[in-house]
Structure 1
Amino acid sequence: MASIKGEVGAAAPDASDLVRVFRPFLLLVVLLVYWISFEPFHDRSGADLAGPLEGGNIANQIAFPLLFIVLAGFTLATKPNHFRNVAAFPFVAFMVWLLITNMVSGDPATGLKRGLFEVISMTIAAMAVGLPQSPRQFANQLAIAAFAVLVLCYVGVAFLPSLSIHSTGDTLERELAGNWRGFFSHKNEAGAMMVVLIFSGLFITEAGKTWAGWLIVGAASVFLLFSVSKTSIALVPFTLFLAALVYRARSGWFRAVLVLLPLVFLNVATVGSSWPGPIRSLVALVLPDATFTGRTDLWRFSLEQTAEHPIFGYGLTGPWRTNELMYRDKLPAEPEDISGWVEELGTDSHNSYLEAALQFGIPGLALLLIAVIYVPLRDFGVASRLSNNPALVRYFLRLWIYVLFTASLETVLVSRNNPVWFMALMAIVGMHLLARFPVAKEDRR
């Protein structure tokens, strides 16, 4: 928040009316760019969905560097100490390692470009946290962006069902027919974003916009249910309950146990069921599908591939859907073999921690865990003692906890342009600021 003491001085340049107006406008632009993207409403009936993954979207390649330049220039002109305030060594170290791993990947030129775009995206999130002048202004812009997302999603379902609802005409995953996805490419992406909107709505309510907040919570909840995104649906009550416990805990060690014990248990139970043994047997007793809808094949493949490149990994996007992987065991005239679906159709590990090891090696995974688990947990303990804006602290805490657990079943961490990853970064950086500077008295809610 720009209103955090230590970030803005009494004679700061942003005292001008123009800058005061530009701050919320720029924040809204950032939120809309990440939440809606430049290519909403995806056609899933195209044959290219089953082919090798192609390069990035040209609009993204132009817009995100431009947005970065505008944000960096604005931040340097109005609040140059913001960069020093948000810098955390584990994140800086991870960014450096990310660039190194992509430079030594199989395609250094492409890898470096992808790495730079990821660093740009992470830096945009860090700068965006400093744009709002108060928690209330932050809530206002979140509300506008949330309504834009919800309106587009519901309009899509009503008037563009072929582009907003999974159908039997989809090239992949026809079994999802009937599940809502709005303008997102997959129902799980839509479900994850609806959870972000639910938590945003709760924060908006606590910030004083009661009717708007509850309307967002209600509309996002309905869409979440119709998306049938089981992971996201289950994690909403779990996250709210766990966040309440962590928020009330006074011991740092107890907070760590509350967060880490179920997180480790979830990953052991899920990834551990990838092979026959006692873990899979126990999971089968509790769940009807011990493969977690085929994820165990992906997890097993990811671990096997990580073992081949344990130090530097494969770089961003890993080995997924490359020509070398999809067709490495086939003769030129040999037909496709659906038994090798992971090599031919898999796009990610469906586990952010495995994906990090696959992309950045074991050292990269270790740096990422320190950056996204240890640092926020430490910062929350300090922020709670400083009694910073309770609503804002709870909002960041809920987003952080949700992302940690959904990362065990989906690839969201270090996922360029992913709105959930972007909000997780904002929460982590925001918590870091709240741990260092108290919110100005007149902005507390």
Structure 2
Amino acid sequence: MVSSSAAIRRTAGRSEGETRTRDLPDAVRVLLNGAVLVLLWNHLWFKDLSDRSSLAAAEGGSPVTQALFLAAGVGMALAVWRIGLRHLRPLATPSLALCALWLGATSLLSVDPMLSLRRLTLFAIAALLSAGVLVVARSPRQLALTLAGSAGVILVTCYLAVALVPDLAVHSAFDVNADPDHAGLWRGTFPHKNDASAAMVILIVVGLYVAAVANRWLGWAVILLAAGFLVASGSKTALLLLPVVLAVTTLCRLFTGGAMRSLLLVGPVVAFTVVSVGSVLVPSIGDALGGVMRDTTFTGRTQIWEFAIDNILVRPWRGWGIGAFWMTERTMYAGSEELTWVNTAIHSHNAYLDTALIGGLPFLVLTLAAFVIAPLRDLQRVAGGRGLDAETLLFLRLWFLGLASASFETVLYNGNSATCCMFMMAVFGLRLRTRYAVAAE
């Protein structure tokens, strides 16, 4: 992790001269991490939503995306190798290893193995980049300043895009695969307003970290610019989740007991899941919600969830394979003569359902163990019985944001998602903190 880089070098027993030969200049560290963060936050700039080709099956992937991730992956791999691969050793946990093995096996058993292996490669590179940023950063302050610079690139280009090329930065009635109600909502350089809003929530969290670790004015500049764009994006989910994330993680600073923190962090996620997918699985929950909520369809997502659940039951033990279900010819055209909006959905709007679609119900269990239970345990090992330092709080906020978002968006095992990449970084960061927290202090 960020401070683990310095901590490892202090505890590895290497001579000062040998350490210098394995070091990377600060300029290289900042430029590499800055480029990687911008790539993870947004790599599909200025997408033309009036292009009808976006309605076609997307099995081939984007050559530009593949080239960018491959280049970044090679650069990060070389940097981590130069600094020392041993820095990533704490991430070799049984739970993460089992997830990786199951994901690889189900990719080979996918309904389209070649497609799944390509998507698996993209996700693996995204995971490497998310972990590598923590190793390459020399210190918390350097990470904070790099985050601020990358956030500035995203924010400035988004605002300039709205001002100079609104036809490519604002939703319009000519968007072929978007809700007509989205017209006028800002998306900046992002392919959709939901992508933009998710990134803005991340940038607000980043701004709080920058303000605490590096520079208060710089941090608050990031926060205010990101908040303004978030409001203009009109994303109800992001606007709902942001105060929940900030409130829950703030309470975790006050309550230091493991049981209380676990309840604070897991309780809202369970509640979101019950309100969303639970209303489809259990009719009585849907009826109860109908009595207190004006609209229980979640913008029509209940139909997508029903479609996803039906197809999970078709292959409950091994799933369909990563990237081999949504937006494929099999899903869009097989079994129906009429192309419906449900068939053309790009995901199920629920990460837990999509996890089961990828690798079956066993993979969902493994995912919960690796990405929910293990980070809770790591958090308590790092800060059990005491308050949260700025670094741990950053990872906690990003991790909880991913968990909460997962009830409404697909943010797990999706290398194209900024929330997924920051969620993985948070999981890795909490794990690395258990190894280097004492030395870092």
TM-score range, shorter chain: over 0.9
Deviation per CA, 1:392-442: give whole Å up to 9, x if none: 11111111111100110001111113221111111111111112212656x
Partner of 2:289: 283
Corresponding residue for 2:393?
394
Q: 2:196 matched to 1:190?
A: yes
Matched-pair identity in %: 35
Matching of residues 182-331 of structure 1 within 5 Å: 182-274=188-280, 277-330=283-336
* Separation in structure 2 between the aligned mates of residue 353 and residue 273 of structure 1, nearest angstrom: 15
- TM-score by structure 2 length? 0.93
Residue 8 of structure 1 aligns to a residue in which SS?
helix
Using the TM superposition, give the Cα deviation of residue 46 of structure 1 relative to its aligned residue in structure 2, in angstroms. Answer: 1.2
Which residue of 159, 169, 190 maps to 2:164? Answer: 159
Aligned residues: 434
5 Å-filtered alignment, 1:324-343, equals: 324-330=330-336, 336=338, 340-343=340-343
TM-score by length of 1: 0.92
Q: Of 82, 88, 101, which residue of structure 2 is paired with 1:77?
A: 82
1:8 corresponds to 2:9: yes
Residue pair 1:386, 1:435 contacting (<8 A) in 2 also: no
In 2, Cα distance between equivalents of 1:390 and 1:53? 43
- Give CA deviations for 1:23-72 in whole Å, capped at 9, x if unaligned: 222111211221231x3011111112222224222122233233222222
The residue aligned with 2:380 is 381
**CA distance in structure 2 between the partners assigned to 1:80 and 1:328 by the alignment:** 46
1:143 paired with 2:145, answer no
Farther-moved stretch of structure 1 (94-103 vs 9-18): 9-18
Cα distance, 1:298–1:56 mapped onto 2, change above 3 Å: same
Give the match for residue 113 of structure 2: 108
Q: Distance in 1 between matches of 2:385 and 2:283?
A: 48
Aligned counterpart, 1:171: 176
Asked if structure 2 preserves the Cα contact closer than 8 Å seen for 1:388 and 1:439, the reply is no
Is 1:63 matched with 2:62? no
Residue 77 of structure 1 deviates from its aligned partner by 2.3
What secondary structure is seen at the aligned counterpart in 2 of 1:148? helix
8 A Cα contact 2:80 2:132, kept in partner: yes
8 Å Cα contact 2:7/2:439 also seen in 1:
no
- Verify: 1:130 aligned to 2:135, yes or no: yes
- Please give the alpha-carbon distance, in whole angstroms, between the structure 2 residues aligned to 1:358 and 1:50: 22
The alignment status of 1:353 with 2:359, answered yes or no, reads: no
Which of 98, 104, 107 aligns to 1:99? It is: 104
CA distance in 2, matches of 1:373, 1:115: 21
CA–CA distance in 1 between the matches of 2:146 and 2:128? 20
- The one-letter amino acid of 1:125's match is S
Secondary structure, counterpart of 2:58 in structure 1: coil
Change in Cα spacing, 1:136 to 1:233, as seen in structure 2 (3 Å) is: same
In the alignment, residue 9 of structure 2 is paired with which amino acid? V
Task: Indicate the larger mover: 395-404 or 276-285.
Answer: 276-285
2:27 matched residue in structure 1: 21
Post-superposition Cα deviations, 1:74-101, rounded to whole Å, max 9, x if no partner, equal 2222223112123222112111111111
CA contact (8 A) 1:197 1:220 kept: yes
Aligned mates of 1:192, 1:439 — CA distance in 2 = 33
Higher mean alpha-carbon deviation, 9-18 vs 120-129, is at 9-18
C-alpha distance 48-157 of structure 1, shift in aligned 2 (>3 A) = same
Letter of the 2:317 counterpart: I
Q: Partner amino acid for 1:341? A: W
Cα pair 2:34 2:150 within 8 Å, conserved: yes
Find the residue that maps to 2:25 and give its secondary structure.
Answer: helix
Distance 2:256 2:226 in 1: 32
Q: Does 1:51 align with 2:56?
A: yes
Structure 1 letter corresponding to 2:389: P
Unaligned runs of 5+ in 2: none
Kindly tell me: are residues 386 and 325 of structure 1, through their superposed partners in 2, closer, same or farther at Cα, counting changes over 3 Å? same
Does the 8 Å CA contact 2:171/2:187 hold for their aligned counterparts?
yes
- Indicate the residue corresponding to 1:407 in structure 2: 406
Per-residue deviation, 1:125: 1.3
Q: d(CA) in 2 for partners of 1:365 and 1:18?
A: 39
Per-residue CA shift, 1:221-267, capped at 9, x if unaligned?
A: 01101101111111111111111122332322222222222211211
Provide the residue aligned with 1:419 in structure 2.
418
Q: Deviations over 1:280-332 (max 9, x none)?
A: 2222233321000011011111111000101110111242232233222456x
Q: Distance in 1 between matches of 2:37 and 2:123?
A: 17
